[in-house]
Structure 1
Amino acid sequence: MGVVSPVDRDRAPKQDRSRATRQRLLEAAVACLAERGWAGSTVSVVAERAGVSRGAAQHHFPTREDLFTAAVEYVAEERSLALRALFPQGAAGAGHVDRRAVVSALVDLYTGPLFRAALHLWVAASNEEQLRSRVTELEARVGRETHRIAVELLGADESAPGVRETVQGLLDMARGLGLANLLTDDAPRRDRVVTQWAALLEQNLGR
């Protein structure tokens, strides 16, 4: 058994504290963006909400753009993990895919604070040239991952004609429901749409 040096013993707690600080900043950034929008979400506001100094925030994220693109990406990854956790053995139970449960879970991705935060980031990127390329790249990556998870959970065979477009249509529909939910609680109508989409998927994707 080797001897751990005092330097190594000290390094591990520092790394843990650094990771915890970074996570607090990311979570605070998403919350600020969802609540205040781009204009009201400065590095100082996020740092105060996270309980860290502005200098500590800039140590982890040198620019405002670094902070907010990383924040949305972080929470998107967390939501993907949460989506998979709902179906730890895939969506199939006894040989049958519960497509309504999958559709409902996918729609839920677009009705929470992540979607609201991402929307503020998209709007800002449409007016901020230095932000646009980063957000475009981020959204493309998140979109590909969400599509891949949807295909897997739905048990869809993308080699069949029209299946890829059907899955993408589902995700586009889910995004539209998320937009509708920004102004009013759209839960009753959303529930009916989810039921109808699940039925359509049963017809188009097979069992």
Structure 2
Amino acid sequence: MAAMTDYRLVRGAATRRRLMDAAAECLAELGWAGSTVAVVATRAGVSRGALQHHFPTREDLFTSAVEHVAERQSAALRGLAGAGAGAVVHGIVDLYTGPLFRASLHLWVAASTEPQLRPRVVELESRIGREAHRTAVELLGANESVPGVREVVQGLLDMARGLGLASLLTDDRERRERVVRRWVSIVEGVLGAGESSPSGV
């Protein structure tokens, strides 16, 4: 009986992950209007009833999907520990110019007109934003007690979001790379200045 229960739990967790992956993919590709529960269930290869067993509402499904993908990509980003500022800056930009940002953006837009969705998305994005900032600080070895360092880290994240928005409609990789190279120089310069400060402040 215990073995059967364990099997069902494992199978249920796998189905849940598959649904969240499918939901994030649909949101990135089809937007909020096109990402119906039925479309996600079909992509995940499960019945609509099975989907609603795991996610009773559409809001449950898509907020969970974005959080799931964000956690997975954050873990991948943390794999850059020790790789240097250049790799970290590029990794952060890749995060915000990829499918996760596109899916998140569709969720933000939907939340602006869906009252039942808005508080959940506001809370989710606040949590993801805090985690992104904390991860960037750790990876860059940034000392935020040094004047200007916190603003540079936040500016880096804001810049990456801006590039993500710009990439939605046009292929601007060449311009983006020039911007990223400049930001690598800025980050290295500020962090280097902080490290060389005798007082650390």
- TM-score grouping bracket, smaller chain normalisation: over 0.9
Name the residue aligned to 2:10: 16
Asked if residue 151 in structure 1 is aligned to residue 137 in structure 2, the reply is yes
Q: Quick check: 1:183 aligned with 2:177?
A: no
State the partner residue of 2:117: 131
Q: Deviations over 1:44-72 (max 9, x none)?
A: 11011100011100000000000000000
Given the alignment, which residue of 97, 101, 119 partners 1:111? 97
Instruction: Map Cα deviations across residues 53-105 of structure 1 (whole Å, 9 max, x no partner).
Output: 111000000000000000000000000011112x2xx226xxxxx21111000
- The answer to whether structure 1 residue 32 and structure 2 residue 26 are counterparts is yes
In 2, the alpha carbon distance for the partners of 1:200 and 1:82 equals 24
Contact 1:91–1:102 (CA under 8 A) maintained in structure 2: no
Alignment partner of 1:203 out of 186, 189, 195: 189
Distance 2:16 2:108 in 1: 23
Q: 60, 66, 71: which is aligned to 1:66? A: 60
Give the aligned CA root-mean-square deviation in angstroms: 1.0
Residue 83 of structure 1 aligns with which residue? 77
Deviation of 1:135 after TM superposition, in Å, equals 0.3
Give the unaligned 5+ runs of structure 1.
Answer: 1-6, 93-97
Equivalent in 154, 158, 161 of residue 147 of structure 2: 161
Structure 1: how far apart are the matches of 2:13 and 2:24? 17
Deviation at residue 139 of structure 1 after TM alignment: 0.4
Partner SS, residue 117 of structure 2? helix
Distance 2:159 2:6 in 1: 45
Tell me which stretches of 4 or more aligned residues in structure 1 moved more than 3 Å. none
Percent identical pairs in the alignment equals 68
